[in-house]
Structure 1
Amino acid sequence: MAAAGLAKVLGKRLDIKLVESDDIGTVGVGEATIPTLLNFHNLLEINEQEFMAETQATFKLGIGFEGWRNVGEDYIHSFGMTGTDHWTAGFQHFWRKGVQRGLASDYGDYCLELKASQENRFAHLPNQGMNYAYHLDAGRYARYLRRLCEPRGVQRIEGKIVRYTRHEDNGDIRSIVLESGQEIEGDLFIDCTGFRGLLIGEAMQEPMQDWSQWLFCDRAIAVQTASVGPAIPLTRSMAHQAGWQWRIPLQHRVGNGLVYSSRYLDDDAAMRQLLGNVAGEVLTTPRVIPFQPCQRRNTWVGNVVAIGLSSGFLEPIESTSIHLIQRAVIRLMQTFPADGISPYDVAEYNAQCNSEIEHIRDFIILHYHVNQRQDSQFWQDARAMEIPAGLRHRIELFRATGRVFRIPNELFAENSWIQVMLGQGIMPAAHHQTADLMGDEELSHFLGSIKASVDRTVQQLPAHQLYVERYCGRPDQAAR
Structure 2
Amino acid sequence: MPVDPIRSVLIVGGGTAGWMTAAALAKIFGDQALDIRLVESEQIGTVGVGEATIPQILLFNRMLGIDENEFVRATQGTFKLGIEFVNWRREGHSYIHPFGSYGSDMDGVMFHHFWLHARQRGYEVDLPEFCLQIIAARQGKFLRPVPDARNSPLGHIAYAFQFDASLYAAYLRRYAEGRGVTRTEGRIANTRLDPETGHVQGVQLENGETIEADFFIDCSGFRGLLIEQALKTGYEDWSSWLPCNSALAVPSENTGPPSPYTRATARKAGWQWRIPLQHRTGNGHVYCSDHISDDEAANILLSNLDGPALRDPLQLRFTTGHRKKFWNKNVLAIGLSAGFMEPLESTSIHLIQSGIARLMTLFPDRAFNPVDIDEYNRLTLQEYDYVRDFLVLHYRQTERDDSEFWRYCRNLPLTDHLARKLALYQTNGRVSREKDELFNETSWLAVLDGQGVVPQGHHPLVTGLGDAEVDARLEQILGAVRASARQMPSHADFIANQCAAPADIQLFQA
User: Is structure 2 residue 132 aligned with structure 1 residue 115?
Assistant: no
Q: Distance in 1 between matches of 2:71 and 2:284?
A: 24
Name the counterpart of 1:2. Answer: 21
Show the 5 A alignment for 1:58-457: 58-86=78-106, 88-103=108-123, 105-127=125-147, 129-457=156-484
1:166/1:174 contact within 8 Å kept:
yes
Deviations 1:41-98 (A, max 9, x none): 0100010011000000000000000000001111110100111224653111111001
TM-superposed deviation, 1:399: 0.6
1:104/1:444 contact within 8 Å kept:
no
Name the CA shift for 1:104/1:449 in 2 (closer, same or farther; >3 Å). Answer: farther
2:73/2:502 contact within 8 Å kept:
no
Q: Distance in 1 between matches of 2:502 and 2:409?
A: 48
Name the CA shift for 1:104/1:433 in 2 (closer, same or farther; >3 Å). Answer: farther
| Higher alpha-carbon deviation: 425-434 or 123-132 | 123-132
For structure 1, the residue ranges without an aligned partner over 5 or more in a row are none
User: Helix, strand or coil: the match of 2:178?
Assistant: helix
User: Helix, strand or coil: the match of 1:189?
Assistant: strand
TM-score by length of structure 1 reads 0.98
Q: Distance in 1 between matches of 2:276 and 2:412?
A: 34
2:145/2:158 contact within 8 Å kept:
no
Q: Distance in 2 between matches of 1:305 and 1:286?
A: 32
TM-superposed deviation, 1:103: 3.2
Which residue identity does 1:77 align to in structure 2? H
User: Is structure 2 residue 72 aligned with structure 1 residue 52?
Assistant: yes
For structure 2, the residue ranges without an aligned partner over 5 or more in a row are 1-19, 148-154, 505-510
Which residue identity does 1:8 align to in structure 2? K
Q: Distance in 2 between matches of 1:78 and 1:347?
A: 35
TM-score by length of structure 2 reads 0.92
Q: Distance in 2 between matches of 1:111 and 1:385?
A: 31
Which residue identity does 2:44 align to in structure 1? I
User: Is structure 2 residue 55 aligned with structure 1 residue 35?
Assistant: yes
Q: Distance in 2 between matches of 1:22 and 1:163?
A: 18
How many residue pairs match? The answer is 477
TM-superposed deviation, 1:401: 1.2
Name the counterpart of 2:37. Answer: 17
Q: Distance in 2 between matches of 1:324 and 1:384?
A: 27
| Higher alpha-carbon deviation: 321-330 or 98-107 | 98-107
Q: Distance in 2 between matches of 1:102 and 1:321?
A: 41
2:131/2:481 contact within 8 Å kept:
yes
Q: Distance in 2 between matches of 1:383 and 1:400?
A: 20
More helix by share: 1
Which residue identity does 1:91 align to in structure 2? F
1:17/1:154 contact within 8 Å kept:
yes
Deviations 1:361-416 (A, max 9, x none): 00000000000012111111111232212111111210111001100001000010
Name the CA shift for 1:369/1:51 in 2 (closer, same or farther; >3 Å). Answer: same
TM-superposed deviation, 1:338: 3.2
Which residue identity does 2:105 align to in structure 1? D
User: Helix, strand or coil: the match of 1:403?
Assistant: coil
% identity of equivalent residues: 46
Q: Distance in 2 between matches of 1:349 and 1:11?
A: 23
1:95/1:104 contact within 8 Å kept:
no
Which residue identity does 2:186 align to in structure 1? G
2:249/2:285 contact within 8 Å kept:
yes
Name the counterpart of 2:16. Answer: none
TM-superposed deviation, 1:339: 4.8
Name the counterpart of 2:7. Answer: none
User: Helix, strand or coil: the match of 1:244?
Assistant: strand
User: Is structure 2 residue 501 aligned with structure 1 residue 474?
Assistant: yes
Q: Distance in 1 between matches of 2:90 and 2:254?
A: 28
Name the CA shift for 1:475/1:17 in 2 (closer, same or farther; >3 Å). Answer: closer
Name the counterpart of 2:150. Answer: none
